Amino acid sequence: MGHVHMMLPDISAARDAFLALGGAYVKDLGPFEIIPFAGAYVLLSEAESCGGSADSVVSSITFRVRSLPATLKTCHAAGLKIAEFVSEPRCCINMPGDVVVEIVELPTLNYAAQFHAINFSSDVSDAMASWYGRFLDGELTQVAPGTITVKIPGAELRVAKKDSPGLRTKGRCLDHIGFEVKDLGQLYARYAGAGVEFESPPRVAPNGVTRVAFCTDPWGTRIELTEKIAALL
């Protein structure tokens, strides 16, 4: 899929938390650290932020794990607490910075943990799901009353209906989400021409290979489009 990027005054606790969740390792890239998971990367930067994810338009993220009891044991050892026990075999925990992470057990999983979904909350969920379906060429399905899923390669985007709009992500602990694309220049021209708000044209990252561009969806979700993000590792 791509990545999620968190901003915290002290990233050490978040680093330990995502390693406890099943992250493979940490690579320090200076401005941020990157933790690879199957399906996506978690990026951590040291910066002040103005709140967690519960009230944000991106309300939580979901990981699949092979064993829920084993994962919760390592998360408890890392000092994490279960925020909400939904039902077997799933639960929610609060990561540092009050980012809500849903954990779902899938015993047949080939990995200890795998990134699975980004969860949105919106008072215009139908419009948001349709926009992401067009933006990412995703497949829309209604999985439950009030919730629409947009399926994209490597992940799902779940858009749930709520009474009020979520807060914009920029400046919050979960500052932005990222999608990996094959031809950033072509997509930038396509999306900018369609009225998508970009912060700047695509630029090359310090490694000289990865290209990035930031934009914002109509409901305040900050998005980073990347090309060749794996070159950061």
CATH number of the domain bearing residue 195:
3.10.180.10
96: left (phi over 0), alpha (psi -120 to 50) or beta: beta
Which residue range is the domain that position 155 belongs to?
Answer: 2-232
Q: Is 21 helix (H, G, I), strand (E, B) or coil?
A: helix
Alpha helices (runs of H) in the chain, residue ranges in sequence order: 12-21, 68-77, 125-135, 184-193
pLDDT tens sequence for the chain (233 residues): 999 999 999 999 999 999 999 998 999 999 999 999 999 999 999 999 999 999 999 999 999 999 998 998 999 888 888 866 666 788 999 999 999 999 999 999 999 999 999 999 999 999 999 999 999 999 999 888 889 999 999 899 999 999 989 999 999 999 999 999 999 999 999 999 999 999 999 999 999 999 999 999 999 999 999 999 999 99
Distance (Å, whole) CA 117 – CA 114: 10
Residue type, position 92, single letter: C
Write phi, then psi, for 142 (nearest 5 degrees): -95, 110
How many domains, the chain? 1
For the chain, how long is the longest CA-to-CA vector?
50
